[in-house]
Structures are given as C-alpha cells and as structure tokens.
Structure 1
Amino acid sequence: MHRNAAKSVRPPAMRQVERRALGVEEAKRLLDALRGHRLEALYVCALTVGLRRGELLGLAWADIDFDAGTLTVRQTVQRAEGRLQIVAPKTERSRRTVPVPAQTLALFRAHRRKQAADSLAAGERWQDHGLVFQSRVGTPRDPDHIDRTWHKIRAAADLDWLRLHDLRHACATFLLVSGASPRTVMKVLGHSQIGLTMNTYAHVLPEIERAAVDQAAKHLFG
C-alpha cells in the first residue's frame, strides 16, 4: 500500500505581519498636510470612517445623510476588463450605514461646492454619475490616480511608510482605544466576522483592557 508522505508534513504556521500603527500626533501631521487639498474629504473620510478605496470612490451624494450624520456604503468602483465599473459590495456586511464625524461632514459640504464649480467649468463635457469623488468631468475616478496622489501627500507629511489602506486600520485602532466595542468596529469596517476584527487589532487589546480596568477602579474608589 502506497503512502503519501507529504500528507504527514505540517506546514509552518502563518505569522500575521504586524504593521506600524499610525499614532495620534502622526495623524495630526497628516491632517495638516491634507488641509486645503482637492481630495481632503476623501482621505479624511478614510481615516475617520474607515472606508476602503473602492468604497470611497463609489460613494454617492445620495448615500450621505447630512441630517442624520451618516453615510451608507452601497457600491464600489473597481477596474474590471480594462475599464472602471460601479459594482455592488462583495458581501452583505460590506453594505452598511455608519456614523460620520461632524468635521468630515463639513469637508463633504466644501467638496460639494468644489464639484459644482467643476460642473460649470466642464459644461457639456460634464457626465454626472452622482458620485462624491468624481473626476473634473464627472466620471468615476481612477483608483490608480488616488494612489499616486496619496504618495505625494504622505511624503509631505513625512509618513512615507503609510499606505492608503493603513488609514482604515488607524480608524479602527482609534475607535477601539476610544472605548468602542470590537463589535462596533466590526460594523463600521464592514468585517464579515468578529474574529477577523479581534485578530486584526489584537495589538491594541492590552491598552483597551488597561483603560477598562482603570475606569472600573475609578468607579469603585472615586
């Protein structure tokens, strides 16, 4: 009887690579570098709401409720078959409504005024897709353009190591450290499982546990 020796070999455990986390002072430096930039609202939204790049580019004005202070992720922009397409989120969890800070909403309003000026300047060339972050002629923005712009911004903030996707991680970390529950962070990010949230942000759990213990002691001992 033949035996496959390969079946008895145990592969090495996959080690999760822990990336450098964005600190509060670094985040403030980034916000300074973004101030007045044409796409300030996009990058600040990534930092404060945790949207993915495709979700940011697929965000429509109809998906922002300024009165309620929320936005809903209903679609994304991605490149497929050589062209940009607006598609539905991959999972049901990715389709979500999340709260938006007042500062980010203010940037959205300012961005809408810039977009109205773009529409007038483009004239008949304007193709309105109802997106928040459209090109100067109203078409969906190329994700590669967002990346190229990001490289310049992070260099200006002296944060060359910071990837655009790291803003999403920073959002989650700041929420957790501020006292948000892992399940709340799971909902904001659109994670499919609570385990994914816990494993991804395990590095901040000791800090959260310390804050919880100190807060409990404060109630006990005044």
Structure 2
Amino acid sequence: MVEKKSGGHRGHGEGSISLRKDGRYEIRITLEDGTRKRTYAKNKKEANEKLRQLQQELHQGTVISGKQQTLEQYLKEWLETHKQTIRPRSWERYEAIVRLHLVPTLGKLTLQKLTPQHLDRLYLQKLEGGLKPKSVAAIHGMLHTALDKAVRLGLVSRNVCKMVSPPRTVRKEITPLSAAQARKLLEAAKGHPQEALFLLALSTGMRRGELLGLMWKDVNLVRGVLQIRHALVRMPTGQGYQLAETKTSKSRRSLVLTVPAIEALKKHKEVQQQWKEAAGPFWHDNDFVFCKPMGEHLDPGYDVLVQLKMLLKKAGLPDIRFHDLRHSTATLLLEQGTNPKIVQEILGHSQISMTMDIYSHVLPTMQIDAMSKLGDILEDADEVSEEEEED
C-alpha cells in the first residue's frame, strides 16, 4: 500500500491517499476532534479530487466528524465501501435492512448516542410487528458487523450490539434421505440429461450453486478428484446469475470422487461433446460441467429444483429441498461412523461445531454404535485374559 503522504502523526486537516489490495484508493483526513474520516475512489485522479473536496469542506466547517455522524450517514457510507467486497445478493440484503428497518427507526441518532436499549426496543417492535425472529437476527448480525468497523475506525468506543441478545431462531428441520431412498432417487435419475448432477450431489454434498458453478478445468477424472472454487450466484433482482468465487476459504476445497461418480461424469462429458458438435458456432463455451444443450448455465429453479421434484415423485419419495441432498450425504457418512472432522471438510463448513449442530440428530445412533464396539472390544479383552490364565 503506497501512501501519498507519510510521516508521523497527522494533524487537523491533513489527509492521505493509499492504494488498497482491491485496487481502490482510500482517502483519509483527520478531523478537529481527532477522528478520521475515510472515503474511497476508483482511481488516483478521483482520489485526489475527493481529498481536495474534504479539505475544502473541513476548512469551511461543513465536514461531519465521527462524533456528529448519524447512524444513517454511517451505514450508507459503510454500504458504499463494501459494495465491491461482498456478493451482490448479500449487499442487496444489507441495503434493504438499512433502508427498511434501521434508517426509519434509528437513523437520526448519532453513533455516539446509540445504546443497547435502542436495539432492544427495535427488536421487540419488529417482532411485535410480525417480523420473524430469523429476520430480526439478520438485522442484528448486519448491524453488529457494521459497528465493529466503526469501532476499528475510532468512531465509537464500543459496539452496542455486543450488549444485546438477538432473538433465538429455530433451525429449519432437515429431511435427509435414507440409504434406500437415495438409491431409489438415483435409479429414477438414470437416463436424465443431468443424471450426473444428482449423483454428484448425493455423493459429495456439494451445494447447488457449487454444482452449477463447477467447471471441467477443476475436474480430474484420471485422479478422481475435483476442486470447488466457484459457485453460480444470483445477482440483485432482475440481473440474473453470475459465476463467483466461493464465500470462504473452507468452501474452497478438494473432494475425492466415488467410482460411480467418475463413470457418470465420463458419460456426461461424452453427451456434452455431442451437444457441442450439434450446436456448432452457437455453442456457449463456458466450460460448465452442468449446462444446457447450448452450453449456457443451468437455471437453479427449473433445470435443477423442478427436475428434482419430478424425480422424487417418479421414485415415490417425499418432497424435499435440493439442499436436503447435501444433508443426506452428511447423515449417511456420519451414520457409517465417518469422523465428523472429515464430514466438515467434505461439506466445507467453517467450524466443526456447525457440522455437529446441524447433524446432532445422528449423534445418538453414533453413540450407540460406538458403545457397542467398545463393549465388543472389552469382551474380547476378557476372553484373551482368561486364555492367558489357562496357559
């Protein structure tokens, strides 16, 4: 990061420009109360202009210090600075939370005057107004993240969200398939244009977006492994879908393929080659493993979810979500005695506690099996001891 100005402590009115890792320029200026105001620019010319404007506003007394900044002003600035660093759909949700829930209620308060009591009253008001606990918890989570940044910037001395408990949310009940049901589904999928997709979903636990964002360059059928690097994500309303990097480092992972999955992918690749030859110059060469006959990405709704519903009905199975295929993979692995740490790595969970929390329904069975095996071991030990005494 290269600073335009450097040196010791910057005094009132001094400013600096630095180049960030994401390619944007950060402009900082020290205010009268000792706090710093930050803004961002796309290029150096724009950065120099913004710094000049800030210095002029400060000289005229129109720039707002951190101690005067309202929650509305801060959150709008926070949203703008994060627009390029988070997924479009996530940013759209954050913007809606700010616009619909925070600005109308707490927006006029200065950051310094925001208290835990304000948040308690807001959450109660939202719940009484019919908002679901999960939605109120989302408001709390976003505000918590935004105020953490305010603390780091020195705009406030504490994050009031840490002093408030958000509403407790009830995790949606999962409905995994049993081994017999999974086999029925795969049998029903035989001959389907996306047969390999459903087999891969059940044998790897990949998320729908990860499957639709999977590219042939990340699949090694000789070694029998694939790399998860991308996901197909929905853009803000009306803007369709785009390929994006996976959310976290844990989501970027390598998975070993089962023999049936390797064979299904080989067959799928041959069929896709036939599509490509038939399409000729109209083929969309996107390198997607799972695509339409012209090479475009699959639609997560009709091409995947609707097709799953049809296959479930054909197999005489209960109606489940696509994400329940992922739950089925994890449940089947845990029921077989697979180490939960391995299951965590396969699923790409950030923490093993998340894995154990979601699949706690499997723990009683695992405990019974474990204690049964321990009993067998101890019984065998007793028999060996008796034989040694006889000898």
Change (3 A) 1:53 1:221: same
Partner of 1:30: 185
Q: How does 1:169-188 map to 2 (within 5 A)?
A: 169-188=327-346
- Residues 113-144 of structure 1: per-residue CA shift (max 9 Å, x gap): 10010011111101111111021111222212
Instruction: Count residues with an aligned counterpart.
Output: 220
Query: Which residue in the other structure is 2:216 paired with?
Result: 61
- Point out which structure has higher relative CO (alpha carbons under 8 A, 6+ apart): 1
Question: Relative to 1, partners in 2 of residues 1:79 and 1:16: Cα closer, same or farther, differing over 3 Å?
Answer: closer
8 Å CA contact 1:33–1:156 kept in 2: the answer is yes
Displacement over 3 Å in runs of 4+: 3-13
Structure 1 gaps of 5+ residues are none
Identity of aligned residues (%): 35
Residues 89-119 of structure 1: per-residue CA shift (max 9 Å, x gap): 0111110001111111110001001001001
After superposing the two structures, state which structure 1 stretch, 209-218 or 99-108, moved more. 209-218
Query: Does the aligned pair in 2 maintain the 1:78–1:143 contact within 8 Å?
Result: no
Task: Check whether the contact 1:74–1:96 (CA below 8 A) recurs between aligned residues.
Answer: yes
Contact kept? 2:309, 2:319, Cα under 8 Å: no
Aligned mates of 2:245, 2:166 — CA distance in 1: 36
Equivalent residue for 1:113?
A: 270
Specify every segment of 5 or more residues in structure 2 that has no aligned partner in the other structure, as ranges: 1-115, 125-164, 381-391
Q: TM-score w.r.t. structure 1 length?
A: 0.91
Q: Answer whether contact 2:215 2:289 (CA < 8 A) is retained.
A: yes
Cα distance in 2 for partners of 1:132, 1:16 equals: 32
What secondary structure, in the 3-state scheme, does the structure 1 residue paired with 2:172 have?
coil
Query: Please, which of 310, 321, 325 is the counterpart of residue 167 of structure 1?
Result: 325
Which has more radius of gyration? 2
1:24 deviates by 1.6
Match runs of 1:9-24 below 5 Å: 13-24=168-179
Instruction: Check 1:111–1:216 CA distance in 2 against 1; reply closer, same or farther (3 A cut).
Output: same
Do the aligned partners of 2:175 and 2:327 also contact (CA within 8 Å) in 1? no
Report what 1:83 is aligned to: 240
1:152 is aligned to: 310
Q: Post-superposition shift, 1:6? A: 8.4
Cα pair distance change 1:54/1:4, threshold 3 Å? closer
- Structure 1 residue 13, shift from structure 2 partner: 3.8
Normalization by structure 2: what TM-score? 0.53
Q: Closer, same or farther in 2 for the Cα pair 1:126/1:217, shift >3 Å?
A: same
Q: How does 1:116-127 map to 2 (within 5 A)?
A: 116-127=273-284
Residues in 2 aligned to 1:11 and 1:97: alpha-carbon distance in whole angstroms: 36
Aligned residue for 1:71, secondary structure, equals strand
